[in-house]
Amino acid sequence: MPNQDALQEVKTVTNNYSAEYGRAQGVVIFTTKSGGNDYHGSGHYRVRNEAFNANSFSNNAQNIPRGAFKSNTFGGSVGGKIIKDKSFFFVSYEGLRFHRAYDYLMTVPTAAERAGDFSKTFVLVGAAPQPIQLFDPFSPVTPSGSFFVRQALPSTLPSNRIDQFGSAILNAYPLPNRTPDDVFNKNNFFFRGNQQFNRDNINTRVDYHWGRHNLYTTYGFQKGNIVTPRTWGPNSPYYSQKEFVGNQQRDNNFYVALGDTIPLSSNMVLDARLGVNRIEADNLADVIPNYNYGVFGIPQSIQALNVIPGAPPATPSSQNLGGIVSPLNNGTSLHKRERQTNSDFNGSVTWSRGRWTHKFGGTYRMLLSNYIDVDDSQQIQTSNDFTRRNINADGSTNG
């Protein structure tokens, strides 16, 4: 989309538009500015800053201070003559430099839980918090033919009963760094990073009148980059932000167009246009070279199936440690790359005769697309089914 300063006219057509616009439900038509015999220019600068902002309601409720927020939008335009009455130019530029605090308020396993001590891990029983009671999945007894009852484990597990792979999952989390909101250890971890969004957009246009020909060419590009901080800090490879949104998003797009309008007679006009646009867009999460999947018990035969080696495996949203533990990593191995090269040629003739105006022509389009899409991460699944008290004879849980 052109810069705001580069627009001469914006027109929206929602019904009764001509066939040249296809069969869409509506059409938005942009007309860009052209230069003239006089030189004109403009500039603008817009700023937003945390100094003008109030803290958010949620931050105040959590005793979190107001975060940094800096948005600087700047640009300008200039247009004028190249050859008087024959050739003109127009150029516009707009840049954005955006920085803001990006807060993560998460729940992580406590140091005691990592060591197998669940005496301070609470769950709701009725309406009151009670220490969680775990049951041994390897020691069921059969009080009846329909279900088994597992024997209770002590609140502090013996070291030989702690699974090394489960322990690796817990230790992949950072330790708590703030006082939790409640006895369930909710929101016991906070990290504030800095999200950056930089964008540059340039639009140019040159017009040239040569005999009966009214030629124009336009070129522009947009380059942008969004870097979102990792959930657990810069030293952690894990990223549990929204799925399908990576911590690195960038695009590098350009377009070029040529056009010529030729009066063939006093009542007939030929219009021909050729345009090409290129899209290069990436949506990526960090890839860790030589990532060791073996610490989570993922065998080499499964690792060999990785489409994107180095993407940490995903964990479920709840580890069932008496409450909700935030996901360690999101559920997709983000490595989305989009490449498009699209071109179109349009030609039309407008013929006026009496009270009638006739327009006919055609369009040729060539759309070339190439995608590398996201893939599911390797999943590490767990639940509290294995440590519940009762289990049915068919393997389903009961209580």
Q: 268-315 pLDDT, tens per residue?
A: 999 999 999 999 998 887 777 677 778 888 888 877 776 666 666 666
- In which domain, by residue range, is 304 found? 37-392
CB 398 within 8 A of CB 392: yes
Distance of CA 257 to the CA centre of its chain: 30
6 domain-assigned: no
Give the pair of three-digit tokens for residue 398.
Answer: 């009961």
223 domain-assigned: yes
24 domain-assigned: no
pLDDT of amino acid 352: 94
Q: Which residue positions in the chain have pLDDT lower than 50?
A: 318-322, 395, 397-399
Put simply, whether the predicted model's pTM sits higher than 0.75 gets the answer: yes
Helix (H) or strand (E) holding 280: strand 268-284
pLDDT of amino acid 399: 43
pLDDT of amino acid 241: 61
188 domain-assigned: yes
pLDDT of amino acid 205: 94
Query: Which residues are paired to 254 by β-bridges?
Result: 221, 278
158 domain-assigned: yes
Structural domain count of the chain: 1
CA distances from 256 to 51, 90, 138, 344 (A): 41, 15, 69, 11
Query: Which residues are paired to 260 by β-bridges?
Result: 215, 272
256 domain-assigned: yes
97 domain-assigned: yes
397 domain-assigned: no
**Phi and psi based region of residue 319 (left: phi greater than 0; alpha: psi -120 to 50; beta: remaining):** alpha
